[in-house]
Amino acid sequence: MLKYKYAIEYIEDYDEVILDLEKENIPKNGYLISNSLGSDIFSDFDSIKEEIQQLLKVMSGELPIFESGGNLNLISSDKHKTVIENIFADEDEGDSVCTIETVEYTKIILIWAKESIKYKNKRGILAIEETDERLEWIKEKCSELNFM
């Protein structure tokens, strides 16, 4: 189960799924996570897989740190926490950093990926075979985290 509450929004004009953490404002500045999904973490499945695999390596201790992002945010993950920092924020802005547990961050990406895949299938963008393969991969990663 995910520690944080969220809402899912579907943007039909762009065939996108938004996972919104901002409403609860937990974690602090959670909107930075929402903004990263689809921009810093690209919505193509290979990018999602790479991100998840690297995060799993960090959590298992195989990698000491994993850094990603770059379009809107810099994202740095260690075994315990992930820090998302807005690269466009002024230095004196207090709302430019979000810190979240790496395991929770990984779960958020998996939830968003699952919803995006299902939505793209529903809209006729993704074939059922591809959808099933991708959802099975997500299910395997969720079971590695004892999640879903």
* Two structure tokens written together for 40: 């810093």
Q: What is the pTM of this model?
A: 0.92
Number of folded domains that form the chain? 1
Length of the chain: 148
Position 23 in a domain = yes
Position 2 in a domain = no
pLDDT at 24: 60
> What's the rounded Cα separation, in Å, for the pair 51 and 66?
9
Position 61 in a domain = yes
On the question of pLDDT at 133 being above 90, the answer is yes
Q: What's the domain range around 20? A: 7-144
Position 1 in a domain = no
Position 40 in a domain = yes
Pair type for strands 16-20 and 7-11: antiparallel
> What's the rounded Cα separation, in Å, for the pair 19 and 100?
15
Contacts for 125 with CB less than 8 Å, ≥ 6 apart: 15
